[in-house]
Amino acid sequence: MNPIIEVKNVSKAFGGLQVINNCSIEVAKGSITGMIGPNGAGKSTLFNIIAGTLPEDSGQILMDGEDITHDTPDQLFHKGLLRTFQIAHEFSHMTALENLMMVPPDQEGENLFSTWLKPSLVREQDAEVRRKALEVLDFINLSHVKNELAGNLSGGQKKLLELGRTMMTDARVVLLDEVAAGVNRTLLGDLVSNIERLNRELGYTFLVIEHDMDMIARLCDPVIVLAQGQVMMQGTIEQVRNNPEVVEAYFGNAL
């Protein structure tokens, strides 16, 4: 399959600590690719470099063949590359519905002159954004909390809401950072099902950092094992689980 994300020989050091060391990975278009490894392996650092929130020291990032190495997060957002966070970043004093309606860029209502000179256009666009937001809430099974302040939602509901925000724009690649953290098993099942649906029905490509091996096993193929800032191996979850070096060095009996 053609890669949609290519990381080529990327390195990153903090002071004298080499966190990412000449690392290269590819994420196939339409895949759900997992990235696992011990704490300190460099997973979050590499994620942040791909997401444009951290500059690399050397190397290159490509998206669909286009160099995005120095793109900012907002530029990447407009190109369809989005990320979620281990700790959800909701607008806590806005409702779940309002959180989704904030996402689409270039809304006419954000322009003061449009609110004066084009009120009908503003109302029409707001109605369309609201309609889409309600559809997204229905998709992620959060319609029952649409008028609840986002800050009052459970951890799992906030993760679902973050996933819903990716549906309010033309997402192509979504970076999921520890999406299972702090989520109860019931809501985690909903979250996994929604990721699968977004991949299957809307063609989203996912790159997933996760410690929950059951979730990785259900969702991800291939799985990249990162260690000391480099790729230790890549393969199916079965190949990872049956690799003695991976099991002994990083997982013990956890797999």
The strand pairing partners of 67, in sequence order, are: 62
For position 112, what pLDDT does the model report? 62
Domains and CATH numbers, the chain: 3-90+169-251 (3.40.50.300), 92-152 (no CATH)
For residue 152, what are its two tokens? Answer: 């009052």
Per-residue H/E/C for 90-129: CCCCCEHHHHHHCCCCCCHHHCHHHHHHCHHHHHHHHHHH
3-state secondary structure of 76: helix
pTM: 0.86
* Backbone φ and ψ of 227, nearest 5°: -150, 130
Residue 182: what pLDDT?
78
**pLDDT per residue rounded down to tens, the chain (255 residues):** 689 999 999 999 999 899 999 999 999 999 999 999 888 889 999 999 999 999 999 999 999 999 999 999 999 999 999 988 766 778 899 999 999 998 877 666 656 666 666 777 767 878 889 999 999 999 999 999 999 999 999 988 998 998 998 889 888 999 998 888 878 888 888 889 999 999 999 999 999 998 888 899 999 999 999 998 999 999 999 999 899 888 776 655 444
pLDDT in the model for residue 222: 96
Q: Side by side, which strands form the sheet with 17-28?
A: 17-28, 3-14, 58-63, 66-67
Structural Rg of the chain based on CA atoms: 19
